[in-house]
Structure 1
Amino acid sequence: MKNILLLVHADEGQEARLQAALDLTRALDGHLSCIDVTMVPNIAGDYDGTGSAMLLADERDREAGNKTTLEARLASEDVVWSWSDVTGFAAEAVIEAAALADLIVLNRKLDQFPYPDMRELASRIVVKARKPVVAVPDDRRGFKLGRALIAWDGQGSAAATMQACVPLLALAEEVQIFMARDGAEQTEPTEAAQYLSRHNIHTSIRIVDDGLTAADQLIADEAANWHADYIMMGAYGRGRLMETFGGVTKRMLAHSKFPLILGH
């Protein structure tokens, strides 16, 4: 896990993305690939394209200034980095750039000013790119690695995410596997723990039987009580713990106070 892909765009979540990406790149001794997307506006009723052209020109000017500022910052950071410029739609641009990425750094839903729609962006990218996505809150600065909570539903997406992120989990001081049992799990948390132990990653396991509380609330409560630094979870799981994007994952992207690492 060496290639970290960062979405660059002058929005309210950029500083959180940048600081998380820098911390992850340093920790993994990796390479930071910055993709600066000049986003094409979509205006309803703009039949002759005049309004869209004006907005695109403003967007290009804004991103040019953003690039100048960030390249100056990156020049003073202790990471190896590269930069590419793209004009288009953010999800498609990131997915195309992600072919050789090991980890993609985005936001969860932006709380301060919700443009672009990062919840939808993260949802599309994690499914299409098939790479782990880091989705950080827009008010978070940096990415702590010490305490990793794996929200386990026993489905293939959770297992694939955990396997892809072994190098990241190896940097944690403590790892906990948390499961709300619902009978739909295909792989037990003990099996996940055994897998990680073969990579010299030792975990604790906590299982709850609670058929009344929403799964995202169970995860959030466990993360807070255990003082997690981030939550790792599979997306599009079939069990109660990991519903489709209409349920648990979408709510986690909307409300989580913790950085998320999502995989499909």
Structure 2
Amino acid sequence: MKNILLLIHDDGGQEGRLQVALDLCRAIDGHLTCLDVTYVPPVLGDGYGAAYVLGDVVTQEAAREVDNKGKVVARLADEGISWDWIDAAGDIAPTLQRAAELTDVIVVNREVGDFAYPDMHGAAAELIVRSGKPVLAVPADCRGLDHAAALIAWDGSRCAAAALRAAVPLLKRTDHVTIVEVQDGSITTTPAEDAAEYLARYGVPADIRRITASPAGPALLKEASSGGFGYVVMGGYGHLRLVEALFGGVTRTMLGESPIPVFLAH
């Protein structure tokens, strides 16, 4: 993990994801690519009136992003990291996905927060499933990546294993790692002991803790909210997204409510 793709957009969550991306970049000695997206909203209605309103919105958005770029670039010049900048326009998730071919992790927010559009929760979900890259989903009020302790949410799935493998470079720089397996009656294909053994080969010792709870989402959210961890590593949408949308699910719960950054892979 060396190449970090960061969404730059003038919204309420930008400071949080910028700080987390900078901390991640320093932790793994990585390179930060800033993708500055001028958001183009969908056209509501038809005819010249709708086109005029859309053009006015895009013009205002572009002006705001130019001002935002100047401020962020000035900050990056003093951060002492390797970085580059890409300007783009379009919808958030597809634009990030197109730019992510040579990226190791994408940093976005769980949701934008004070903007009705774009929907960052939806963008994060789309990127987890469609980009083929791990996503670091950051709470809007987060002010950095604390890698003193990590929680690995383990269910034995292929998605959990993919997240674990992708997170190894960061886990190697984390002081304490705990694998939490919530026993909710579901069948796990790979036990937590195998995950711990895998990490041990990379020099990452990990404790194992099992919790009996059903459903698993609230139990993991309680762990993430305990103050004992700086970030979570977990598989994203291990079950069909339609099923999770209808009945909830761990991914949906953590994307919606986790107070700490969540590293997800599908």
In the other structure, the counterpart of 2:89 is 87
Aligned partners of 1:58 and 1:224: how far apart in 2? Answer: 38
SS at match of 1:165: helix
Measure how far apart 1:110 and its partner are: 3.5
Separation of aligned partners in 1, 2:124 and 2:245: 11
Secondary structure of the corresponding residue to residue 58 of structure 1: helix
Q: Is the 8 A contact 1:152 1:177 kept in 2?
A: yes
Call closer, same or farther: CA 1:226–1:153 in 2, change over 3 Å.
Answer: farther
Distance 2:39 2:123 in 1: 12
1:123–1:245 Cα contact (<8 Å) kept: no
Query: Is residue 45 of structure 1 aligned with residue 45 of structure 2?
Result: yes
| Residues in 2 aligned to 1:46 and 1:256: alpha-carbon distance in whole angstroms | 39
CA contact (8 A) 1:11 1:115 kept: no
Which residue of 193, 198, 206 corresponds with 1:190?
193
1:82-133 Cα shifts (integer Å, max 9, x gaps): 0010011111110011111111110112444454211100000111111111
Q: Give 1:15's aligned residue.
A: 15
The percent identity for this pair of structures is: 44
* Structure 1 residue 210 displacement after superposition: 2.3
Paired residues of 2:11 and 2:112 also in contact (CA < 8 A): no
Whether the aligned pair in 1 keeps the contact of 2:180 and 2:210 (CA below 8 Å) is yes
1:228 aligns with 2:229: yes
How does the TM-score come out when normalised to structure 1? Answer: 0.94
Which residue identity lines up with residue 168 of structure 2 in the other structure? V
C-alpha change, 1:38 and 1:112, in structure 2 (3 Å) is closer
Q: Where does 1:66-215 land on structure 2 (aligned, <5 Å)? A: 66-181=68-183, 182-211=185-214, 214-215=215-216
SS in 1 for 2:101: helix
* 1:125–1:232 distance in 2 versus 1, CA, 3 Å: same
What amino acid maps onto 2:21 in structure 1? Answer: A
CA distance in 1, matches of 2:121, 2:204: 31
Within 1, Cα distance between the matches of 2:76 and 2:245? 35
Letter in 1 for 2:2: K
Q: Distance in 2 between matches of 1:169 and 1:114?
A: 35
Contact kept in structure 2, 1:46 and 1:52, CA below 8 Å: no
Give, in whole Å, the separation in 2 of the partners of 1:61 and 1:189: 50
Distance in 2 of aligned mates of 1:221 and 1:82 = 38
Secondary structure of the equivalent of 2:94? helix
> One-letter code of the match for 2:195?
A
- Please tell me whether residue 60 in structure 1 is matched to residue 35 in structure 2: no
After superposition, the C-alpha distances for 1:109-162 in whole angstroms (9 at most, x for unaligned) are 244445421110000011111111111111110111110100011100000110
- Secondary structure of the residue that 1:87 maps to in structure 2? strand
**Residues 41, 117 of structure 2: 8 Å contact kept:** no
Instruction: Work out the CA distance in 1 between the residues paired with 2:29 and 2:46.
Output: 47
RMSD: 1.6
Q: C-alpha distance in 1, partners of 2:78/2:65?
A: 20
- Residue pair 1:176, 1:204 contacting (<8 A) in 2 also: yes
One-letter amino acid matched to 1:202 = P
Paired positions, count: 259
Tell me how far 1:245 sits from its aligned partner.
5.1
SS where residue 150 of structure 2 aligns?
Answer: strand
What stretches of structure 1 of length at least 5 have no aligned partner? none
DSSP 3-state at the match of 2:60: helix
CA gap of 1:245–1:232, structure 2 versus 1, over 3 A, is: farther
Task: Give the AA of the match of 2:13.
Answer: G
Partner SS state of residue 57, structure 2: helix
Partner of 1:260: 262
> How far has the Cα of 1:223 moved from its partner?
2.7
Instruction: Report how far residue 36 of structure 1 moved.
Output: 0.3
Q: Is the 8 A contact 1:36 1:83 kept in 2?
A: yes
d(CA) in 2 for partners of 1:113, 1:90: 13
Cα shift at 1:46: 4.0
